[in-house]
Amino acid sequence: MSALTLDARKHAAAIKTVVSAALGTKWNAFDYGEVPGYDGNPGPKPDLFALVSVDMVPATGQRMSAQTGMTRWIASVRGVGPTVQEAQWVLFKAMGVLHEARLTIDGRDTTPLQASNGQAPRKDGPAYSGLAVYTYSH
């Protein structure tokens, strides 16, 4: 068994890869602040895209002295589109490849991602966006 991967960038990269693939050749998944055309970034604004965030959860369920071979993570996918339905489409496509799926990060599989929470698409700046939340261990 390979070592723990505490580097959130690798988790985010794995999620962005599968979500981008699910959105087809035209649309992609990005980190917050990295979307072309937003925040002064170069390039044309995409109509549809997904935003990915990854947080590690401190192992507060453990005793202070305990060691663990696993860490708990919360990932979220924000579906953005010019209408509610298009934002929902992004969330739906992402859920198709994430819910109950195992991702391989640094040669080690995660537990199946569980869709746990979320927010329906609503007006958000220039577009509509909604959120889907996934939890897993790695």
Partner 1 sequence: MRIRVHNQLDDLAHDTRTVANRARRDMTAVVRKNTREGNRIAKAFASEQHTMFSDADIEYPPSFTWEMLSPLEGEYGPDQAIGDGSQSPGYEFGSINSPPHFDLARSVEAIQHRFLWDVQDLPDRWFWPGAK
Binding residues for partner 1, rule: CB under 8 A, are 32, 38-39, 51, 53, 55, 57-58, 60-61, 72, 74, 76, 78, 80, 116-117, 119, 124-127, 129, 131, 133, 135
Tokens at 84, concatenated: 């509610």
Q: Which is nearer to partner 1, 2 or 67 (CB)?
A: 67
Alpha helices (runs of H) in the chain, residue ranges in sequence order: 8-22, 84-98
> Helix 8-22 crosses helix 84-98 at what angle (to 10 degrees)?
120
Give the nearest distance from C-beta 95 to partner 1 in angstroms: 16
Q: Which is nearer to partner 1, 22 or 54 (CB)?
A: 54
Q: Which is nearer to partner 1, 43 or 107 (CB)?
A: 43
Distance, in Å, from the CA atom of 23 to the CA atom of 27, rounded to the nearest integer, reads 6
Report which residue type is found at 16.
K
